[in-house]
Amino acid sequence: MNQTLVFPDAREVAIEDRDRPEPTAEEVLIETDTSLISAGTELTVLSGDFPEGSFWDEYAEFPFDPGYANVGTVVEVGADPQGADVASDDAGASTTGATGAELDVGTRVATWSPHAEYVAAAAEDCVVVPDDVDDEQASLFAIAQIVMNGVRRGRIDWGETVVVYGLGILGQLAVRFARIAGAETVVGVDLAEQRLEYLPDSPEVVGVNPTEEDPVEAVEAATGGDLADVCLEVTGNPDVIPQEFGVLHEQARLVLLSSPHGKTTLDFHDHVNAPSHEIIGAHQLSHAPVATPRDPWTKPAHAELFFSYVEQGRLSVSDLFSHVVDARDAPGTYQSLLEDRSDAMAVRLEW
């Protein structure tokens, strides 16, 4: 059997026993070791609270199979390169993964697959997890891909000042990747004091609680009055977006790294046209579908770069986990997160 997490309807979470999937010739069967809850996407779906006719209304069709950050071990290869059937106990079985690496039975891989004990994934979508990266660290690969794409689309460069609005797990990684990309100063803004405590202990990183300090004044203080070059929107709250333009100097960039579920009202003259601000969408679907010399940064390429940074010690993520839960206890965890996730950071399921 195959224990699988499902949302039967809005605000309902269950674990179903389903049949174990059979991999096709182009797939591998993966036994899940761990999977990460994407609180923003999954709780938006689970809440059922989104505008009728919106993207979310079409995406969140119940029953819904949540999850897209899966780390596990290949236990069966659908076929060898010549197309011959391969049994799961054939240790010599292999195929080719996303970046040309061999996928043998026993290979640990990261895939965009749902929360389930066993998943079948296209071999070409599998990214091999290095031995020096543990399951916990690896489980952040999908969130890292999303953030890295947003940082890249925002063109963050040496010496710039970046403001990150929203310090959940995406925002925390955005702060760290902005620094790696060359940002001189990063200001993180969040209403939850618990989230501010996850920020790196660095003089170049400033935390701001907008109930206690005006973010514009904080950015002015951090930049000598110059304000910010880039603002990354990671709150998912459409009502906050107009305020975020205030931290930017003229001709700066606002990057929508979150997926706001609702309408935002802007005075396009005052917020965009007069200051010549640029608004940049950064959904993960804007990744390059295939690597080209002009744009080699596919999702697998970003995953491998993320793993490389972890291996080198340039990126520390082990302190970003607030919950590690047995997958069988996931329904209760989702309900708790639905009620209040202000003290939650990365939430990982163990299978």
DSSP H or E segment with residue 18 = strand 14-18
pLDDT tens-digit profile of 213-265?
999 999 999 999 999 999 999 999 999 999 999 999 999 999 999 988 789 99
d(CA 121, CA 110): 10
For residue 317, pLDDT over 50 is answered with: yes
Q: 144-286 domain in CATH 3.40.50.1980?
A: no
Confidence (pLDDT) at 125: 94
3-state DSSP call for residue 330?
A: helix
* Residue 105 contacts residue 134 (beta carbons within 8 Å): no
**What tokens does 66 get?**
């949540």
Instruction: Mention every residue, 6+ apart, whose C-beta is less than 8 A from residue 211.
Output: 191
d(CA 63, CA 159): 47
Phi and psi at 116, nearest 5°, equal -160, 155
Q: Percent of the chain beyond pLDDT 90? A: 85
d(CA 4, CA 243): 41
* Residue 129 contacts residue 109 (beta carbons within 8 Å): yes
- Give the model's confidence band at 81: pLDDT under 50 very low, under 70 low, under 90 confident, else very high: very low
Alpha-carbon 221 to chain mean position: 31
For residue 88, pLDDT over 70 is answered with: no
* Residue 254 contacts residue 244 (beta carbons within 8 Å): yes
**What tokens does 153 get?**
């689309």
Task: Give the CA distances from residue 212 to residues 94, 146, 209, in Å, rounded to whole numbers and listed in that order.
Answer: 57, 30, 6
d(CA 182, CA 122): 35
* Residue 106 contacts residue 74 (beta carbons within 8 Å): yes
Residue with tokens 């010739």: 25
pLDDT tens-digit profile of 271-306?
999 999 999 999 999 999 999 999 999 999 999 999
Burial of 292 (C-beta count, 10 Å sphere; 0-12/13-18/19+): exposed
* CATH class, range 2-140+317-350: alpha beta
Confidence (pLDDT) at 265: 95
**What tokens does 157 get?**
């460069």
Phi-psi label, residue 158: left if phi above 0, alpha if psi -120 to 50, beta otherwise:
beta
| Domain ranges, ordered by start, for the chain | 2-140+317-350, 144-286
pLDDT tens-digit profile of 156-203?
999 999 999 999 999 999 999 999 999 999 999 999 999 999 999 999
Neighbours of 152 (CB within 10 A): 17
d(CA 183, CA 322): 27
Burial of 58 (C-beta count, 10 Å sphere; 0-12/13-18/19+): exposed
| Average pLDDT of the segment spanning 85-98 | 58
